[in-house]
A and B are shown apart, each in its own frame.
Chain A
Amino acid sequence: MPHQRLAPYNADGSINTFNGSAVGTYASSGIQNPLSLLKNSVNQGKIAAVLGSISLEYDILKDLKFKSIASINYQQYHQHDYTPSTALVRGDAGATSSQNGIASQAQTESTTFLFENTLSYNKQFDANNRIDVVAGTSWQQDKSNTFQASGQGFPDDQILTDLSSAAVILQPQSYSSQNSLLSFYARANYAFKDRYLLTFTGRSDASSKFPAANRTAFFPSGGVAWRLSQESFLKNMSWINDLKLRASAGYTGTQNIGDHLFRTLYTPASYAGTNALVPSQLGNNTIKWESTLQKDAGLDFAFFDSRLSGGIGVYQKNTSGLLFNQTLAPSSAYGSVIANIANIRNRGLEIEIRGDFIRGKRFNWNGSFNMSFNRSKVTNINQNFSDPNESGTYLGNTIISEGKPLGLFYGQQFTGIINTPAELAAYKKQYSLYPYITPYLNIGDPMYKMSPYGFVSSSEIIGNAEPKFYGGYTNTLTYKGFSLTTLFTYSYGGKILYLADINNQKVVDLTNKGVAILGRWTPDNTTADRPRLVYGQQGNISTASNDIYNGSYLKLKSVTLAYQIPKQLMDKWKLQSASVYISATNLFIITKYPGPDPEVSNDPYSLISGYSDAAAYPTVKQFSLGFRIGL
């Protein structure tokens, strides 16, 4: 298939609208010409904020203090957009004309209010005993309201793009949200001779995101530390500078979900000119706080005049009632429901070693190396939503399965390309249902592992995203006023699902594809490991093991060269501090991963998904030059 180049301008000098017919595809697959946005679009945000806080402190007794803080963060945000007539816009069914331009103005008002009252007690009883206690309550409320008006059809793209010039008024939009959190908490620290340290905290949180019965949860935690180096039997070992053993255990809660998700909702609509209410959200009135019990133990050390220091830590995190949007079967009439879907255990080992290799008057060299090992395991799955035969919950391209680690990819097992008539005949024999599924099955098509029922099995575990280990190394060299800091990061053993690669195996229109498509099977390229292409037919192309790639990498994450202006000069210039630096990020990466960057995630905030490369923007290479001056 020939390459296609699109001219940015038409012959008459106007901007080429890359609509479907210009690109040789469905109108719905047209492309927005970036030039049209560059020329006449408006995307302007204005923000006005008021941050205020008042506090009252009162010393009830010498060691007992009362403090009250009320703070407010009020924001007004105004967004003005104009999409010019020459740009295609995204409609309900793909690309569509902007019909002489679309303008919109939106106003958002958001308020965060915090009211906090604490009593604190601090007492040094004698040289060896110290205690401090804080008890308090806090009330936090977030509110926001948005209103948006838009219009379509403008006389020109330059001047009359104000809403009042629109020919068609589009449906106004408004949204509002509110959530609140009420907390009571206490924290106590006790130190004996600075050698034995005890900490206890407890907090009770009530969140509006949960139904009344499960609204409040209590999260206690406690820790002990023992500074061995302060003990008399180690004090005379001069090569030990610091040695500390620590252990802690505690619960934390997570409520990182939307508002009102526990309620079944009806959303307003209209039909035949009258109001309607339509069921739009299935509530789950059993959701509760996601809580994690974390247990830590570790040893921190510094030896040989602190030339060698570091720490070793082990942890176990048991997360119960993981909050996640569970996809629902279409027969439930809703897309998804929030649920506490699983319990997960993470165990890990973290090692950090820092060394001062050279300590000189002019030249210094130190480095810090760290390495982490984490192993996850799903300890329980909410049976309401999982298949008892498979004991797993399917999340798009991954599955969480009881007794297995997180990050298991789920799909078809690729077994090769059909290359001979004999292979074709044998595959067709296994694949008895192909006439109803992929009627043009032929040489050059991919083969997949079959289910026993005469079709491709799509329920194979085809990879594990979890890396075996990961970490980084920071190296610092200083010479006189110069310093060079370099950070490398690495990850080994994880797999990535390269979603764009699936699209590179099928052609249903003439839009751009990755170069990998050139390596497809053709009668002249029969050794290819990528299937042939049949225009408009996608056969069995779907998430499969040949779209999963090794995500191991070593990356130069950042390098910074800085120069500190000498003290004499600063004194002369009457400056507190002054430095010049040049830095670069993401300079190079060593990896076999074919996508732009193996350090990607389609859902970085999720505990249980985010292992797919959905053609995400790669991390940028960034160069910066800066001056830092302190007056």
Chain B
Amino acid sequence: MNKRFIYPILTVALLSQYACKKQLDALPTNAKVEGNTITDQPSANVALNGVYFRFANATNTATDWTNDKVMPSLFAGYLGSGNGASNDESDAFGYTVYTSEWGRYYSLINAANGVNDGVQKLADNQFTAGRKSQILAEARFLRAYGSFKLLSYFGQWFDITSPLGIVIENQFNTLTNINLPRSTVKDSYTFILNDLDYAIANAASTSKNINVNKWTAMALKMRVLLSRGQGDDFTQAIALGNSIISGSPYTLEPNEKDIFYTKGLASNEVMLGVQPQANQELYYLNVSNTFIGASAFYIAKPMLYNLLKNDPRLSWVVGPAVGDNYYFIKYITPAKQSTVTSETAYAFRLSEVYLMLAEATTRSGGDLNTAKTNLKTVMSKAGVTDFSAVDAAVTAADVQTQIYYEYARNFVGEDGIEWMALLRLPLATITQIRPTITSKIQYILPIPNNEFTNNPNFGAQNPGYSKP
């Protein structure tokens, strides 16, 4: 055999082996892979912004808080669909479309876990002083925010002894740690509060109001404590409320209307909000346009009109009639173009802290006059001068109902604040205010079918709803 040819062939074959190995291992060029994503402080900040991206329910075109603004107000009876009423408006949730929220918040939680796991693996000296624990605090706040939303809409948050809590996700998902069973309500609360305690201890004390700081963490903890309502939860909430009001850089907006009509995130009352993407106001399918019927169409129902009938806010929250209903003009009027302000969404405002403080005082058996003072402070910023209904409330239960009405007037169409406040009232009072709710089944939504079909370990469906 001719050796002149054998050796070159062998050499080429061996060399190509090496080149092939490199090509077979080639990484994608359009994405990063886990392991090269979070490597230092700048890349950790980019990944953290990905968690905010999920928080904002964003695409690169637009942030979308339609469901935050509309869904709970639909359940509470104040908003409705302008294209024909849905079962959601009468609190029959068996076929609700809003089970999509379940997956949405798990995407947020997973992104937060990616940052939490990735940043913890890095050495402290890769960060400027304190930034590492701040990033972790923000990630854990966002994880707690998502987990609490899930517990509020899909778990029996109102019953601390219930086994029907959420699936606790505390690690970045891999093939081996998905498909967990749902945890108890008690454990779900503990998980959320642990994250918030970490966030309160480690988050920055000031930040832009599209990012999280320790004051927003305290405000979220108040929401969680009011829902749980066990032991000294109300006392803790009172302490948190007082320290936010006295220590935080936020102040009540002198005229509530200005937040929604002119200032947006520039208002000093806004503790945490969602900033629209660039040019989102020009985007046809944006959130504002759903209030003027551009694609989906959400309107204010007579119940909101009646709630605000004698309130100065009627003029800028409830607009012209559409059939039996009205335009909902808190963000946009029918004649108006969407703007950056109309596309902004609000997760936490200082007014809520005042109302939560009043509610905690009332429910803990504290001084009703202190509670009423805080309530009136908030109402006065909306231009209310007639406090006769508040003055007439003498029992703690009546005061809590009055606080609920202010939650509704103030926070309708924002982030489910009035819906959760309604459900914190006794069932008999709820049925009086919202006659379609006659059972605690209607406090929460069914777990979506695809959770059961694809997660064999999940566990039981919420009572009253079907499981495939």
A positions within 8 Å CB-CB of B: 20, 26-28, 58, 60-61, 64, 66, 91-94, 96-97, 99, 115, 117, 137, 139, 141, 168, 171, 174-176, 178, 180, 182, 206-208, 212, 215, 259-260, 263-286, 326-334, 337, 384-389, 394, 433, 435-439, 451, 453, 455-456, 458-459, 535-538
Contacts and interface: CB of A to CB of B under 8 A. Distances in A.
A264 B174 contact: yes
Contacts of B296: 26, 28, 93
Contacts of A212: 24-25
Interface centre among B26, B86, B293, B466 (most CB of A within 10 A): B466
Contacts of B193: none
Contact of A286 (B31, B49, B110, B175): B175
A185 to B, nearest CB: 14
B110 A436 contact: no
B46 A276 contact: yes
Interface string B383-424: 000000000000000000000000000000000000000000
Contact of A60 (B2, B59, B92): B2
Contacts of A28: 295-296
Nearest to A335: B103
Name the interface size band of chain B.
Answer: 35 or more
11 contacts: A264-B174, A269-B60, A276-B50, A279-B173, A328-B178, A328-B454, A329-B450, A329-B451, A331-B451, A437-B466, A439-B92
Given A276-B46, A277-B37, A208 B454 contact: no
Given A271-B58, A331-B455, A333-B103, A284 B92 contact: no
A278 B107 CA distance: 9
Contacts of A458: 449, 466, 468
B13 to A, nearest CB: 7
Contacts of B282: 168
Nearest to A387: B456
A26 B285 contact: no
Contacts of A141: 23
A139 B22 CA distance: 13
A283 B94 contact: no
Interface in B1-19: 1-2, 5, 9, 13, 16
Interface in B59-73: 59-61, 63
Contacts of B295: 20, 26-28, 93-94, 96
A97 B284 CA distance: 8
A66 B30 contact: no
A64 B5 CA distance: 13
Nearest to B1: A60
5 nearest A-B residue pairs (beta carbon): A437-B94, A330-B103, A329-B455, A333-B110, A455-B466
Nearest to A332: B178
A436 B465 contact: yes
A92 B277 CA distance: 15
Interface centre among A182, A331, A459, A536, by most B CB within 10 Å?
A331
A515 B377 CA distance: 63
B453 A394 contact: yes
Given A26-B296, A92-B59, A333-B109, A274 B49 contact: yes
Given A272-B210, A277-B50, A178 B466 contact: no
A329 B94 contact: no
A394 B467 CA distance: 14
A186 B257 CA distance: 79
A117 B16 CA distance: 12
Interface string B97-132: 000001100110111001000000000000000000
B321 interface: no
Given A27-B295, A327-B450, A389-B456, A436 B178 contact: no
Contact of B84 (A281, A283, A334, A535): A535
Contact of B23 (A27, A180, A266, A535): A180
Contacts of A66: 5, 9
A269 B31 CA distance: 10
B34 A263 contact: yes
Contacts of A94: 295
Nearest to B103: A330
B336 to A, nearest CB: 18
Given A332-B106, A437-B92, A438-B94, A280 B61 contact: no
Given A212-B25, A333-B107, 13 more contacts: A27-B294, A58-B5, A178-B26, A263-B33, A268-B30, A279-B110, A327-B453, A330-B450, A330-B451, A333-B106, A439-B87, A455-B466, A536-B84
A277 B296 CA distance: 30
A60 B5 contact: yes
Nearest to A454: B466
A180 B294 CA distance: 48
Contact of A433 (B84, B90, B456, B466): B466
A83 to B, nearest CB: 14
B169 A436 contact: no
B270 to A, nearest CB: 14
B370 to A, nearest CB: 38
B468 A93 contact: no
Contact of A139 (B20, B50, B53, B458): B20
A273 B25 CA distance: 34
B272 to A, nearest CB: 12
Contacts of A387: 453, 456
B28 A91 contact: no
Given A93-B295, A266-B37, A284-B175, A433 B94 contact: yes
A175 B25 CA distance: 19
Contacts of A456: 466
B448 interface: yes
Contact of B50 (A20, A168, A266, A389): A266
User: Residue among A175, A264, A329, A439 with the most chain B CB within 10 A?
Assistant: A329
